[in-house]
Amino acid sequence: QVHLVESGGGVVQPGKSLRVSCSASGFTFRSNGMHWVRQAPGKGLEYVAFISFDGTNKQYAESVRGRFTVSRDNSWDTLYLQMNIVRPEDTAVYYCAKGDHGYGMDVWGQGTTVTVSS
Amino acid sequence: DIQMTQSPSSLSASVGDRVTITCRASQGIRNALGWFQQKPGKAPKRLIYSSSSLQSGVPSRFSGSGSGTDFTLTISSLQPEDFATYYCLQHNTYPWTFGQGTKVDIK
């Protein structure tokens, strides 16, 4: 059974950095692209980033490009999102999701909450 | 970026009603569209992929259609557990983009 567990969320001051993680199990992690999606309080879903199965292709939403970096460790079946120079508008639940080989994304984690506040 | 315009933003319906939600893409996306259901405090769950393919385990009252720029999610007979927020997602072009969501509540 596919299982994704995010961690690392918390309260961070504006301008600071935070790294969130996503631990994967139940599938061959190194064979799948992975995604990050976020949801601000009371708002809709916002696509954040993608990383290909081998880490060579990365894509970002305009709102985070240049500040956030997606990476992965296929030895540890773990996905990361490094968030730098955070802003109050980055406050959200951050979800990781498994790519589905050209068919979008299928399974999501339960999310981790990031709050940017002084 | 491709803009996904979802409508309506909310609707009220009764158990047994037929419900239709639409998404329009700002440019053609072939059939690269999925539909997700989200309940409060929970992660989204995929219902439909490739515009019209039903996710395994999802009830057959859910169906999707469309290609190019116009897409539809239909719930043929609304059940109590279907009251939720629904989102479309285009996965044709990076960055992928979601519709604004449609909240379905009880009339």
Q: In the prediction, which pLDDT does B15 show?
A: 96
Residues of B in contact with A37 (CB under 8 A): 98
Q: In the prediction, which pLDDT does B95 show?
A: 95
Q: How far is A92 from chain B, CA to nearest CA, in Å?
A: 12
Tokens of A4: 């994704």
Q: Do B46 and A105 touch (CB under 8 A)?
A: yes
Q: In the prediction, which pLDDT does A67 show?
A: 98
Residues of A in contact with B49 (CB under 8 A): 100, 103-104, 106
pLDDT higher than threshold 90 for residue B107: no
Q: Which of B33, B43, B99 sits opposite A108 (nearest CB)?
A: B43
Do B89 and A33 contact (CB within 8 A), yes or no?
Answer: no
Size of interface A-B (CB pairs under 8 A): 62
Closest residue of chain A to B32, computed from CA coordinates: A103
Residues of A in contact with B87 (CB under 8 A): 44-45
Q: Do A109 and B95 touch (CB under 8 A)?
A: no
Residues of A in contact with B50 (CB under 8 A): 103-104
Do B34 and B89 contact (CB within 8 A), yes or no?
Answer: yes
Neighbours of B6 (CB within 10 A): 20
A3: pLDDT confidence band, cut at 50, 70 and 90?
very high
B20: pLDDT confidence band, cut at 50, 70 and 90?
very high
Q: Calculate what percentage of chain B has a pLDDT beyond 70.
A: 100
Instruction: Check CB contact of A44 with chain B, cutoff 8 Å.
Output: yes
DSSP-derived pairing of the beta strands B70-75 and B62-67: antiparallel
pLDDT higher than threshold 90 for residue A85: yes
Do A46 and A38 contact (CB within 8 A), yes or no?
Answer: yes
Residues of B in contact with A59 (CB under 8 A): 94-95
Average pLDDT over residues B26-34: 98
Q: Give chain B's end-to-end CA distance (angstroms, integer).
A: 36
